[in-house]
Amino acid sequence: MDEPTHPRKPPGSSPGHRAPEQAEGEEEKAREPEYVFRVLGPLKSPLRNQGTPKLRALLGTLLLNANRTVSVGSLVETLWAGSPPPSAAANIQTYVSGIRKSLDLHTENGSRRLLTRTPGYVLRVRPGELDLPHFTELSAMGRAALARNEATRAAALFERAAKLWRGRPLEDIERLSTSFEAQVNALEEQHLSVLNDWTAARLELGQNDELILELRMMVHDWPLSERTWYHLMLALCRSGRVSAALAAYRQARETIVGETGIEPSETLRALHEAILTGSTPRLTEMGKVIAFHHSSVAG
C-alpha cells in the first residue's frame, strides 16, 4: 500500500459528462451524515473544549478502535510511551470518567457510549456517527465497482471517500507514542491508496489532462509513491506530452534511488520502456493489483 509522507487535502474532482451513475453519486453525497465524531482530520466530538491533551489522545484512540475493546495496557502505552507514572491506571479511570460524563449528555434513551469491558474499555458508535467506518465502506465499494469495470461508479465512490478527509488524522492531538503514530500512519496509507484508486478510475474515463496538475501535487507530497508516478507518466503520455512523461520518470528514479538506494519497480520501468518505444500504454489492473515495491516506503 501507499504511504504518504505529508498530509494534504484530497484533490477536487474534475468536471465532465454527467453519466447516470454520477448523478446517483451526487444524490448520495447530498445525504452524507452529520457525524457525531470525526477523526479524518482534527478531532470532532461532543466533548466540551475537547479536554486535556491526554484525555483527547485517549478519546482519539478509542475512536480509531470504535466498537472494539481497547485494553488498559494499550491505553497506557499510547499515553505514556513506555514510561507511565505509578498513577497511570488511576489517571486512565479519571479520563474515562470525564469522557463518559460528556458523552452521556449526548446519547439517546440514556444509553452509555463508553463501557468498561475486560480488559479495558469500548466506545460504542452507531452507523453514520463516525467518519472512519464510512470511509472504509465507500473505499471497499469503489474497489468492487472498479473490479467490475464500472469506472464511473468507482470514481464517484472514491471521490466521496476522499472528501471525508479534512487533514491528517487527529492532527490536533499530540503524538504521545509510536503506537499512536503507527495508527495514524496506517490511515494515511489508506488515504493515499484511495486517492490513487480514484485516479485510476478517472484515467479509465479518459480524464488525462484534468489529472496532470493534481498528480504533480501528489508526487510532490508523496515522492516515493511509485503508483502516483505511474499515473502521472501515463496521463502525460496520453495527453501527447511524451517528453514530459520521460522527464517524470527521470525525476521519479532520481528520487527513489536517492532516498532508498533501490531502482524503481519493474512496473514503473516497463511503462518507461513502453513510452520510449512509442507503444500505447494502457492502464491495466491499476486499481486491483499493485506491483510497486516502493509504494509502502515513507520518504
Segment 263-298, tens digit of pLDDT: 999 999 999 999 999 886 776 544 333 445 444 433
The model's pLDDT over 40-51, given as tens digits with 9 standing for 90+, comes to 999 999 886 667
| Cα 48-52-55 angle, rounded to 5 deg | 90
Q: Give the pLDDT band of residue 104 (cuts 50, 70, 90).
A: confident
Count of Cβ atoms closer than 10 Å to residue 270 Cβ:
15
CA distances (Å), origin 128, targets 17, 37, 216: 30, 9, 34
pLDDT digits (tens, 9 = 90+) for 42-79: 999 988 666 788 999 999 999 999 999 999 999 999 99
The fold adopted by the segment(s) 17-205 is: Arc Repressor Mutant, subunit A (1.10.10)
One DSSP character per residue, 139-174 reads HHHHHHHHHTT-HHHHHHHHHHHHTT--SSTTTTS-
State residue 280's pLDDT score. Answer: 67
Q: Give CA–CA dist 278/205, Å, rounded.
A: 22
**Where in the sequence of the chain do the CATH 1.10.10.10 domains occur?**
17-205
From-to residues of CATH 1.25.40.10 in the chain: 208-299
Q: Where are the beta strands (DSSP E) in the chain?
A: 70-71, 114-117, 120-123
> In sequence order, what are the residues at sequence separation of 6 or more whose Cβ sits closer than 8 angstroms to the Cβ of residue 219?
225, 228, 229, 232, 248, 251, 252
Phi, psi of 51 (to 5 degrees): 85, -175
pLDDT tens-place string over residues 116-174: 999 999 999 999 999 999 999 999 999 999 999 999 999 999 999 999 999 999 999 98
Query: Tell me, what's the pLDDT at 284?
Result: 55
pLDDT tens sequence across 157-166: 999 999 999 9
Other Cβ atoms less than 10 A from the Cβ of 225: the count is 31
Average the pLDDT over each of 28-32, 74-78, 104-108, 207-211 and give the range with the smallest value: 28-32
Contact by Cβ (8 Å): 52, 96: no
Rounded to a whole number of angstroms, the distance between the first and last alpha carbons of the chain is: 14
**What pLDDT is attached to residue 297?**
37
Distance of alpha carbon 201 from alpha carbon 214, whole angstroms: 14
pLDDT of residue 210: 97
Average pLDDT over residues 233-242: 95
d(CA 106, CA 291): 47
d(CA 220, CA 5): 10
CA dihedral 208, 214, 218, 221 (to 10 degrees): 160
Domain 208-299 class in CATH = mainly alpha
Please report, rounded to a whole number, the percentage of residues in the chain having pLDDT higher than 90: 71
202's CB contacts (< 8 A; 6+ apart) are 14, 151, 155, 210, 211
32 pLDDT band, cuts 50/70/90, is confident
pLDDT the model gives residue 10: 39
